[in-house]
């Protein structure tokens, strides 16, 4: 745990530590906050599976949205996940060097491997996915050991199936692992001529395993199907992920990054899907299969490239894990190319294990795990993060390989048996060059993410610096100039901010954020006619933005139209129940209307989403004082003083209380 604590201490200096930003990470965080705020049922089919956001919301509840504690909890759970497999492997020791060394090496790799620590400490589904996979494998091995102990055998198979099913609603790629395990359970022990008899023999085992697996999958799929009006799986976006790895521009990795090109691709998909009344996934799948049909040779080369890149020595980028962010800590920089050694040992172990009947049987479920996630990345798209679910298998197979080398006979034949798989593994792991040759562009994307995180923390000087560093590659993205305009707006440099917002509109005339920002600026200046016009144009382009409704409500508050503002704040909350500022403003309106008790409820909800905000504590204390709850109000006032004694609102409340 010391390594994980060192890593978190280093990482905590980054603006991203307490402000999770970037692809996937931000979406998981926002969904978990909505659940935390009480929105259990999602209203549209999501682009992520639901189990991790619910798990994260539970951590938020337990640790009061303290990201250090949340990340540490994920890391602890990640380490504990290795213990069942370590115990199982330890029980397989038989006095031979080969089997005696495997458990210790496996546990060592699991505990110290830097990329795994990165994934387990990030706001990503892999933090939960790996423990579920580890438990699924452990239980299935236990079930197979039960012999004729029917009840315990059924329970272990059911537990394994349940873990695999939960893995699927954590990340849908796990369905390939689930299907592979179900196929193994159906056919194992059967010879080809007697395959029907073998299935009949294993039907009871298969029934309990698959039934337990379907328990979490079916409700999610059914709910998503009802939302979308068509048969849907545990999440949307599968079609786009397939397209990402299967089109004429595909590199094998997540080559299409957030930016103007990304926006253009998704905008076209939305236009076509609306016109033809199909889902975006259906559009992307159609485009992909058209490419495969029309360019079979290029498509085949893409599949081969992806299959090889799965084992690439680099941790290829998928979301907010570009090198600039991933290696921002000394600990991660030390392990930058650690997969070069692990990958060679793991792949060589895989090749040796499947060539030896005894080893193939011994490590069968680890082989199934590695093969299934290898296959899914070959079909869809690959990255270091998408490879992460393979790591338990890679650790075991690498441990087996090291043990095999140490325990093997020192003969020429045995040297050849080791040399050939090692050479093949080294060729696959080290030889292919990374498809991301432009590290400067990757760094610019990281700067863009850091800029947004810095803005959310109120550090506009750093945000502006990061934006300018990203400009050489994001000069044609409206989002960049919206952020730069916001930096100027906060410093009351209104003319410069308006220039930036107008430039954003020049790049993308449909960018509702730019119109919203112009409306906010005019509202600040008291030009409500121009502000109203800008907000109207923004609403014409986007009807479901909680930020748009919130900022529109703030303008109405300035205009003295509190009833209308309240309706808009409520609409913002309907779209995003975790809109902390909307909750606070509804509390302020209720307090002004002479309803402090109701105001206190909203202040309390707002504070639960931002537990370290002293100004919110002041608002809550004032509402409680007005409700006659002096003792409770004193506690919040004292807490605000301890937290931020220099806060103007805290000082004002202290002065008022002292005067009394």
Residue among 152, 127, 150 nearest 139 (CA): 152
568 lies in the same domain as 591: no
Each residue's pLDDT tens digit, 533-584:
999 999 999 989 999 999 999 999 999 999 999 999 999 999 999 999 999 9
What CA–CA distance (Å, rounded) separates 581 from 587? 10
Q: Exposed e or buried b for every residue in 578-612, given b needs 16+ CB within 10 A?
A: bbbbbbbbbbbbbbeeebbebbbbbbbbbbbbeee
The domain of 546 spans 485-572
Q: Which residues contact 83 (CB under 8 A, 6 or more apart)?
A: none
Non-local CB neighbours of 454 within 8 Å, separated by 6+ positions: 15, 460, 462, 463, 466
Domain count for the chain, please give it: 3
- Do 617 and 535 lie in one domain? The reply is no
Domain boundary among 383, 413, 430: 430
Same domain, yes or no, for 557 and 612?
Answer: no
Shared-domain flag, residues 512 and 624: no
pLDDT range class, residue 196, cuts 50, 70, 90: low
Percent of the chain with pLDDT over 70: 96
Lowest-pLDDT range of 149-153, 492-496, 526-530, 551-555: 149-153
Check residue 145 and give its pLDDT.
86
| End position of a domain, from candidates 364, 398, 430 | 430
Q: Are residues 406 and 309 in the same domain?
A: yes
Higher pLDDT, 620 or 656: 620
Lowest model confidence (mean pLDDT) among 63-77, 168-182, 339-353, 630-644: 630-644
Task: Answer for the pair 22, 449: CB distance below 8 angstroms, yes or no.
Answer: yes
Q: Rounded to a whole number, what is the largest CA-CA distance in the chain?
A: 93
Same domain, 567 and 588: no
Residues 90 and 170 occupy one common structural domain: yes
Q: Hey, what's the torsion of the CAs at 353, 354, 360, 365, to 10 degrees?
A: 100
The region of weakest confidence among 57-66, 400-409, 459-468 is 400-409
- Residues 224/234, Cβ–Cβ less than 8 Å: yes
State residue 257's pLDDT score: 87
Q: What per-residue confidence (pLDDT) applies to 217?
A: 97
Contacting residues for 204 by C-beta, under 8 A, at least 6 apart:
154
pLDDT digits (tens, 9 = 90+) for 242-274: 999 999 999 999 988 888 899 999 999 999 999
More confident residue, 171 or 259: 171
- Residue 311 lies inside a defined structural domain of this protein: yes
Tokens of 539: 């609403």
Q: How far is CA 478 from the centre of its chain?
A: 25
DSSP one-letter string for 482-497: HHHHHHHHHTT-HHHH
* Residue owning tokens 């806060």: 647
Q: Which residue, of 557, 572, 587, is where some domain finishes? A: 572
* Residue 606, domain CATH: 1.25.40.10
Question: Residue holding tokens 């997540």?
Answer: 254
Check pLDDT > 90 for residue 93.
no
pLDDT grade for 193, boundaries at 50, 70 and 90: very low
106 and 238 belong to one structural domain? yes
| Residue 192 pLDDT | 40
545 in the same domain as 656: no
User: Is residue 407 in some structural domain?
Assistant: yes
Residue 199 pLDDT greater than 80, yes or no: no
Tell me the average pLDDT across 307-312.
95
Structure confidence at residue 61 (pLDDT):
95
Q: Given this model, what pLDDT does residue 1 score?
A: 79
SS3 328: coil
pLDDT tens-digit series, residues 425-456: 999 999 877 665 567 888 899 999 999 999 99
- pLDDT over threshold 90, residue 178: yes
Determine which of 25-34, 148-157, 510-519, 588-597 has the lowest per-residue pLDDT on average.
148-157
Q: What is the pLDDT of residue 431?
A: 87
Residue 146's pLDDT is 82
What is the rounded distance in angstroms from the CA atom of residue 488 to the CA atom of residue 482? Answer: 10
Q: In whole angstroms, give the CA distance from residue 390 to residue 351.
A: 15
Judge whether 596 lies within some domain: yes
For 5, counting Cβ atoms within 10 Å of its Cβ (0-12 exposed, 13-18 middle, 19+ buried), the class is exposed
How does residue 191 score in pLDDT terms, banded at 50, 70 and 90?
A: very low
Q: Is residue 466 part of a domain?
A: no
Mean pLDDT within 470-475: 91
Looking at the structure, tell me whether residues 537 and 621 fall in a common domain: no
Going 229 to 232 to 235 to 239, the CA torsion angle's sign is negative
CB 464, CB 452: distance < 8 Å:
no
Average pLDDT, the chain: 91
User: In terms of domains, do 354 and 393 share one?
Assistant: yes
Looking at residues 603-624, what average pLDDT do you find?
Answer: 93
Specify if 553 maps to a domain: yes
If asked whether residues 606 and 545 sit together in one domain, one would say no
465 found inside a domain:
no
Classify residue 459: in a domain, yes or no: no
Domain-embedded: residue 446: no
Structural contact between residues 120 and 75, judged by C-beta atoms closer than 8 angstroms: yes
């Amino acid at each position: 745990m010391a390594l994980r604590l060192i890593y978190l201490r280093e990482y905590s200096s980054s603006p991203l530590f307490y402000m999770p930003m970037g692809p996937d990470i931000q979406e998981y965080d926002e969904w978990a906050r909505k659940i935390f705020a009480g929105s259990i049922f999602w209203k549209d089919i999501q682009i992520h599976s639901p189990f991790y956001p619910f798990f994260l919301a539970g951590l938020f509840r337990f640790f009061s949205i303290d990201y250090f504690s949340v990340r540490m909890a994920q890391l602890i759970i990640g380490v504990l996940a290795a213990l069942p497999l370590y115990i199982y492997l330890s029980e397989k020791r038989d006095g031979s060097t080969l089997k005696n060394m495997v458990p210790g090496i496996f546990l060592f790799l699991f505990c110290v491997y830097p990329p795994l620590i990165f994934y387990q400490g990030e706001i990503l589904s892999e933090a939960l996915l790996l423990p579920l996979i580890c438990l699924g494998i452990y239980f299935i091995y236990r079930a197979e050991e039960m012999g004729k102990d029917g009840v315990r055998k059924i329970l272990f198979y059911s537990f394994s199936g349940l873990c695999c099913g939960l893995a699927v609603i954590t990340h849908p790629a796990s369905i390939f692992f689930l299907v592979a395990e179900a196929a193994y359970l159906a056919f194992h022990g059967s010879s080809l001529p007697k395959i029907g008899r073998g299935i009949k023999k294993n039907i009871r085992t298969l029934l309990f395993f698959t039934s337990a697996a379907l328990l979490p999958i079916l409700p999610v799929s059914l709910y998503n199907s009802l939302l979308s009006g068509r048969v849907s799986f545990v999440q949307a976006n599968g079609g786009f992920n397939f397209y990402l790895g299967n089109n004429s521009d595909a590199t094998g990795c997540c080559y299409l990054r957030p930016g103007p090109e990304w926006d253009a691709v998704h905008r076209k998909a939305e236009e076509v899907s609306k016109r033809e009344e199909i889902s975006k996934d259906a559009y992307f799948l159609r485009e992909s299969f058209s490419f495969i049909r029309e360019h079979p040779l290029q498509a085949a080369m893409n599949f081969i490239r992806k299959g090889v890149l799965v084992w690439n020595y680099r941790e290829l980028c998928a979301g907010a894990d570009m090198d600039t962010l991933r290696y921002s800590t000394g600990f991660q920089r030390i392990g930058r190319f650690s997969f070069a050694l692990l990958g060679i040992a793991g792949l060589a172990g895989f090749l040796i294990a499947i060539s030896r009947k005894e080893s193939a049987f011994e490590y069968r479920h680890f082989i199934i795990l590695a093969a299934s996630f290898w296959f899914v990345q070959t079909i869809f798209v690959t990255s270091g993060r998408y490879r992460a679910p393979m790591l338990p298998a890679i650790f075991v197979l690498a441990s087996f390989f090291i043990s095999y080398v140490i325990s093997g006979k020192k003969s020429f034949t045995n040297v050849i048996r080791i040399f050939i798989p090692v050479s093949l593994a080294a060729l696959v792991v080290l030889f292919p060059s990374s498809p991301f040759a432009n590290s400067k562009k990757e760094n610019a994307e990281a700067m863009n993410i850091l800029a947004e995180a810095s803005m959310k923390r109120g550090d506009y000087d750093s945000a502006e610096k990061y934006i300018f560093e990203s400009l050489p590659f994001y000069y044609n993205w409206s989002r960049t100039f919206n952020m730069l305009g916001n930096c100027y707006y906060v410093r009351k440099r209104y003319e410069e901010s308006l220039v930036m917002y107008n430039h954003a509109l020049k790049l993308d005339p449909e960018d509702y954020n730019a119109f919203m920002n112009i409306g906010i600026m005019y509202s600040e200046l008291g030009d409500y006619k121009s502000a109203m016009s800008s907000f109207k144009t923004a609403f014409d382009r986007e009807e479901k933005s909680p930020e748009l409704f919130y900022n529109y409500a703030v303008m109405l508050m300035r205009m003295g139209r509190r009833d209308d503002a309240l309706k808009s704040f409520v609409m913002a909350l309907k779209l995003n129940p975790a809109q902390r500022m909307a909750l606070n403003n509804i509390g302020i309106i209720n307090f002004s209307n002479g309803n402090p008790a109701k105001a206190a409820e909203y202040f309390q909800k707002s504070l639960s989403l931002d537990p370290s905000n002293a100004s919110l504590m002041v608002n809550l204390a004032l509402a409680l004082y007005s409700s006659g709850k002096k003792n409770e109000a004193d506690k919040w006032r004292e807490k605000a003083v301890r937290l931020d004694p220099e806060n103007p609102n805290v000082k004002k409340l202290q002065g008022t209380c002292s005067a009394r």
